[in-house]
Structure 1
Amino acid sequence: MTEPTKTKNLDQHGAPALPWSRARDLLATQTPKEDLTFFVGTVRPDGRPHAAGVGAIWVDDALYFVSGDGTRRARNLAANPACSVSVRLKGLDLTLEGEAERISDPATLERVAAVYREGGWTATVYEGGFNATFMAPSAGPAPWFLYRLVPARAIGVACAEPYGASRWDFTP
């Protein structure tokens, strides 16, 4: 994914559509070094929603996050990979929508672990996932598995100048 296939201006006050580059550049520069909390929304097997905070990072035009194998989030994604991830970046509230894919490729795990370490999380590749000196208490024991969300759609609402609101679609 490089550029959206379609942009829709959602602003109702006359501001122009926001460029995707604004959201993409904020993700690239603020993760993993800023103190950001991302929220992953998934769907339970009975259709009820579930949301949980995660540490996520933007690497090579995709959003990565981890989950313990026994968590509600991981069980939901195993049954239905559709999810959303929301975050407040500096000047932009952003929601990404798409399908999360569990990643086990050693080269990708190493690359993403290195980026996590740049931000201070001591991730190392371990048994097809990650291990570290710290993980959320609710995550269960390592390994913590890596998921990649390549957005199919994103929605951004600017809370700093230049203001505006846009939806970006990345599928044909």
Structure 2
Amino acid sequence: MSGPEPVAELQQEYSDKRATARPWSEAVGVLTRAGVFWLSTVRPDGRPHVTPLIGLWTDGALHFCTGPTERKARNLAENPEVVLTTGTNTLSRGFDVVVEGRAVPVTDETRLTRLAKLWEDKYGADWHFEVHAGAFANGAGGRAEVFGVTPRKAFGFGKGEPYSQTRWLFG
């Protein structure tokens, strides 16, 4: 991540007495390696919407894409505030990370071309995208809008010995 490191705070009331705040670099490792993220958005009527999707951590932000008519894209048009979650589906081991921020459209073609390459490098040829008119395009004529989420606040949940909850605050 470029810029200063976020402030890390151990949430003592939710942590083992032996726990210490986890470094942001550990969360970045989880975000980089994760294959699936859960995106939480808010519908125009205020109800929550959660969906799994693939994504990338690069340049200090999480990136994901979605078709322009999908529920999450329509939600983002009304309210760009999101939560992205990833980690393990276990209770006694692993490290879960939750990122809060604003989903900002990525339309710069140079940046999109770089992201398309990273997408394919991470997820394989089934996730090959061309860049056209400020979005990803696939061979079938589909369009996917790309969003970047720079963390405003993040949480890390260490599971096992010791259990811990770290909060990172960003400038």
Q: TM tier, shorter chain?
A: 0.7 to 0.9
Alignment match of 2:130 (pick from 124, 130, 136): 124
Percent identity of paired positions between Structure 1 and Structure 2: 34
CA separation in 2, counterparts of 1:56 and 1:102? 14
Unaligned runs of 5+ in 1: 135-140
- Provide the alpha-carbon RMSD of the alignment: 2.1
Distance 1:160 1:23, change over 3 A: farther
- Corresponding residue for residue 7 of structure 1: 8
Kindly indicate whether the alpha-carbon contact (under 8 Å) linking 1:92 and 1:160 is maintained by their aligned counterparts in 2.
no
Spell out, residue by residue over 1:102-161, the C-alpha distance to the aligned partner (whole angstroms, 9 max, x if none): 110011101100100102121221332112358xxxxxx621010000010111112356
Q: Distance in 2 between matches of 1:6 and 1:73?
A: 30
CA contact (8 A) 1:23 1:156 kept: yes
Number of aligned pairs? Answer: 160
CA separation of 1:5 and 1:122: change in aligned 2, threshold 3 A:
closer
Deviation at 1:2, TM superposition (A): 4.0
Output the TM-score relative to the length of structure 1. Answer: 0.84
**Distance verdict in 2 for CA 1:161–1:2, change over 3 Å:** farther
Question: Is the 2:15–2:163 contact (alpha carbons within 8 Å) kept by the matching residues of 1?
Answer: no
Correspondence for 2:29: 25
- State the TM-score, normalized to the length of structure 2: 0.84
Distance 1:91 1:98 in 2: 23
Deviation at 1:6, TM superposition (A): 2.5
Equivalent residue of 1:17, what SS? coil
CA distance in 2, matches of 1:9, 1:133: 47
Is the contact made by 1:3 and 1:20 (CA closer than 8 Å) also made in structure 2? no
> Per the alignment, do residues 13 and 123 of structure 1 end up closer, same or farther by CA in structure 2, a change over 3 Å counting?
same
Residues 47-58 of structure 1: pairs in structure 2 closer than 5 A: 47-58=46-57
Instruction: Report deviation, 1:50.
Output: 0.6
C-alpha spacing 1:56/1:160, structure 2 compared with 1 (3 Å): farther
Deviations 1:44-64 (A, max 9, x none): 111111111111111111100
